[in-house]
Structure formats: C-alpha cells, structure tokens
Amino acid sequence: MRKLFTSQSLTEPDLALLEQIERGMSITADLSRADLLLICPRNIDEVVSVAQAQPHSIASIYDTSLVNRTLTQVDAPVILNAWHRRRHVRAQRALIPTGTPIMQDVYPIHGQDGEVVALFSIETSLIQLERHSQRHASFRRAIEWLLWMCMRGELASAAELSPFGEWDGLVLVDAQRRITYLSGIANNLYRKLGYMDDMRGKRLSSLGTRDDEMVVAALQGHRPLEHQVEENQHIWIRKVLPVWPPPTVPGRLQRLFSGQTRPGDVGGTLIMVHDATEDQRKQQELEVKTTMIQEVHHRVKNNLQTIAAMLRMQARRSESEATRHDLQEALARILSVAVIYEFLSLKETQSINIRDVGQRIITQVRQIVTPGKQVSFSVDGPAIYLPSQQATACALVVNELIQNAMEHGFETQDHGHIKLKLIDGGDSVRLEVCDNGTLLPDDFSLDKPTSLGLQIVRTLVEGDLHGRVWLMNRDDEVVATVEFQKLAVAEHSVGK
C-alpha cells in the first residue's frame, strides 16, 4: 500500500496522513455500511484509487478490487468533479456496468500545505441510505463523526479491531455513558443476558456487564478496545470505539448541545457486540475431533509398525530366499503406508509434503539394500503438499518404483544411483524415479508387467490418482514417470 502512496509524489507528512486514513477505513466502512475509496489525483483528467474498504456488515456494491485502478470522467464523474472544484460534492449516480443506483459523497483531503492531496469517496446504495435515514438521530450523528475522524486520520488505531459483521449488535452511548441507540440485533443479544426492558436512556453502569468498564478504559486511553468475555454462559466479543465531532462550525454546535467543553472531547462511544458462543463451541468440537483423529492415526501407525516388525522377524527366520524376498517386499509396502500415518499423527492439517514422504521411504529402503550393493539415493524437487488420500497412493507408488529399480536395475550391477525427482506443475504433479542400472529390454511393455510391483503401480496411478504412468530408457537411465492432477485438500475431508 505504501508503494501506491509514494508513487503519487507526496511529502512525508502527507504520506503519513493517507496511511492513517487507510488504516481506519475498514471499521468505518463496516459501521457506515458504505464502500470507501481513497483516491489520489494523477492529472487533470485522471485519478488513481490507492485504497479501498468494502463493508463486512452488508454486501459491497463492488465485486472486484479498485485498488491501483486509474479512473476517468467516464467511470468516476463525481470524483473528478470534486477534484476539479476542490470541494465536497454529493451526487446520485449509477454504477458502471451494473447500473446500481448509489449516493456518492466525495470529500477533498488537504495536505500539510493546504493543497488537495487526495479525495475520500463514500459510496452508499440507495436502499441502505433509506434505512440509515430511519435510524435514531444520535446514531446518524455518530456515524457522521466517525467518517470525519477517518478522513482526518484519527482512526489509525482502529485497524487492530476485528471486522463488524452483519449479525453483530451495535450500541451507542453518549458522553455521560447513557444508552441513546440500540440496534435490533443488539437488543436481542442483550435479551439473552436477561435484559428484557427497554435499555435506551439507561446508564451503562446500571447493567451487570463489562460494557461500562471497557468504555471507561477506552475513554481514558482515547483509543478503541476489543475484549472477549464470558457472561451468563455466552462468549461475547466486544469492541468499543470512542467518537467525537469534527473541528467545524456544525461540530462546535454539536459539542455544545452534547455538553462538551473542549475540542477533541469524546461525544459518544460505539459498542459493537458479537456473540461468539456458537463459533467457539464449533472450534472446541473441531479441536477435540482433530485430537481424536490424530490419536487414531498414531495407533494405526503403531499397528502397522508392529506388523512390520513381525514380518521382519519372520523374514530373518525363513530359510527360503524367495520367502525372505516376498516378506521384505511386503514389509516395505507396509512401512510406506505407515509413513503417511506418522505424518498425519503429528500434524493437524490433512495435507502432507510428499517430498518428506519420499525422503523417509528412501531412508527405509537403504536399510534393506542387499549387502555388497553400493547404490546411492537422492530426492530432488520442491515441497509438494497433497491430501492424505493422494499422499498414501504416492507413497506406495514411490516405494514400488524404487523397489523395482533395486530389483531389476541392480540385479547384476553392484554400483549405481536411484533418484526421485518431484516436479510441481501447479495443478498437476510429476514424479520420476530414475536409475542407471540395467536398461529396459526393447520389448518391454507396461501392458504386460513382469512384476507384482508394477501391477500395483499401474493400479494405484490409474485407479486412485487418475493419472498415467510409463517407463522408458533415457540417456543411459531407466526413467519411471507418473503424472496426475492435484486434488484440493478440501476435496478430501476427514469425514469422507
């Protein structure tokens, strides 16, 4: 954002002012239920949007970002009019290309030397404007103050506040901390705490809540506050935001009528209330579910390792070389699946880095290399994260291809290397297992595989990964290639 500001040839004080304005725009858009734009002039006929705030409390009138977009007379006539006249301009117009009718207020932002350095556009749908006109006068005045505070850069600290949402309640108290306005949602939320009577006109201190304590703290610090508290078995997120009138003639009159004596005195405080009880309950349930799933993964891993240990013992006791070979292959397959469950038991996420999986499988294969064979292993490529279903299939495929390279590539050779290469294609993944052992015969075909391992690879790639696999000789190496499309992690949820 600072890069956009600095590109407008602003002085450091003016740059700091615009940054402060931008920091206060988000909460201001939420509370005013309007879209806000901060515009910098480029020349007499063009301006550029350097900041935008879309409300969380209602649907934005824009479906795309306007930041860093150059605007002309065609798409921003009111803004250009305000720029040319160097004064506030208010006009109704239709958005391009939707034709949505809106009311647009554009105010000049003056820099340190008094020159106009930016324009502040407040854009409100006519439906929302009509609803706002029906609200209590004290609330409308508070929102007016809020907008002026934002334009003066006095809401920079409000950037720390969480958004004000559509289902959040809003309370306004005056300088004497009396409730002057209560939204319908706020009224329903306080009813959950047992306040059934009309709360307007009551002092905050008469309520058995922490509202008054938070307002006093915010007033003393002259800054907004946000806290999460539990009251009557409900979890509330409260935000308090002091507001005060602008240093204008109407603002001075408003200070007199509200009992203020000095410029800058707080004229009221906006209290935003969010009921986070259900969200917290769902989060706690999710954490418990995640812990249970991790425990299941841990037990599955332990069980697989126990089975592997038994196969290892049986292989050692077997007198048949063929039996030992078959048991070693089964052992490697079980351990490759156990690797996936080990990763799942250690992480909350359901995505797994298959580079780490490949490295772990290679470590396991090294332990069963035939004595006398000097074969080096390596993994090359970026970290690629896949959902557990695809990662499990990949682990088995990598294991089988490496075992196949060991068995057939180095049956008559004692030296060589096996490389696992990972290529991230964005939406796709490519795996290559390369070895410089014995080359494939001229009549080799995957349609007639000579080993159980290659049959397993083909079944997994085509059936589980919905990809394709092929083997070929390339530059004195045998290269086994697997390609498939990535699945988004959300497409393979825990509940499937």
| CATH code, 75 | 3.30.450.280
Decide: 358 and 402 in contact? Cβ < 8 Å: no
358-390 per-position pLDDT tens digit: 888 888 887 766 677 788 899 999 999 988 888
Whether residues 429 and 323 share a domain: the answer is yes
pLDDT average, residue stretch 319-340 = 80
Residues 297 and 394 in one domain: yes
Structural domain for 469, as ranges = 281-491
Average pLDDT, the chain: 85
What is residue 395's predicted lDDT score, i.e. its pLDDT? 86
In 10 A of CB 80, how many CB atoms?
Answer: 23
Same domain, 287 and 401: yes
Q: What is the mean pLDDT of residues 120-132?
A: 95
- Is position 145 within any domain? no
**For residue 254, pLDDT beyond 70:** no
Q: What is the pLDDT of residue 336?
A: 78
Q: Residue 215 domain-assigned?
A: yes
425 with 455, same domain: the answer is yes
Q: What length is written for the chain?
A: 496
Residue with token string 């077997």:
318
Per residue in 18-54, pLDDT (tens digit) is 999 999 999 999 999 999 999 999 888 999 999 999 9
Whether 285 and 267 share a structural domain: no
Q: What is the pLDDT of residue 248?
A: 61
Q: Other C-beta atoms within 10 Å of 466: how many? A: 12
Range scoring the smallest mean pLDDT among 69-83, 262-276, 394-408: 262-276
Residues 337 and 444 in one domain: yes
**Same structural domain for residues 61 and 193?**
no
Question: What is residue 78's predicted lDDT score, i.e. its pLDDT?
Answer: 95
Residue 78 is given by DSSP the state H
Q: Please give the full DSSP string across 159-191, using - where no structure is assigned.
A: GGSPP--TT-EEEEEETT-BEEEE-HHHHHHHH
CA–CA dist 410, 397 (Å, integer) = 19
Given 249, 275, 301, the domain boundary residue is 275
User: Are 354 and 381 contacting, i.e. CB atoms less than 8 angstroms apart?
Assistant: no
* Residue 252 reports pLDDT greater than 60: no
Of 234, 258, 275, the residue at which a domain comes to its end is 275
Give me the number of domains the chain comprises.
3
Please check whether residues 285 and 416 belong to one and the same domain.
yes
Rounded (10°) CA dihedral 61, 64, 66, 71? -80
Instruction: State the pLDDT confidence band at 449, using cuts at 50, 70 and 90.
Output: low
As a whole number of Å, the CA-based R_g of the chain is 33
Residues 365 and 395 in one domain: yes
* Full-model pTM: 0.65
Among 242, 275, 308, identify where a domain stops. Answer: 275
Q: Tell me what the mean pLDDT of segment 150-173 comes to.
A: 94
Return the top range by mean pLDDT from 108-122, 347-361, 389-403: 108-122
Is the distance from CB of 104 to CB of 120 less than 8 angstroms? no
CA angle 423, 428, 430 (to 5 degrees): 35
Task: Please tell me the predicted confidence (pLDDT) of residue 448.
Answer: 76
Give the amino acid at 52.
Answer: Q
**Residues 76 and 33 placed together within one structural domain of the fold:** yes
451 and 481: one domain?
A: yes
Q: Kindly state whether residues 252 and 301 are assigned to the same domain.
A: no
Asked, for residue 432, whether it belongs to a domain, the answer is yes
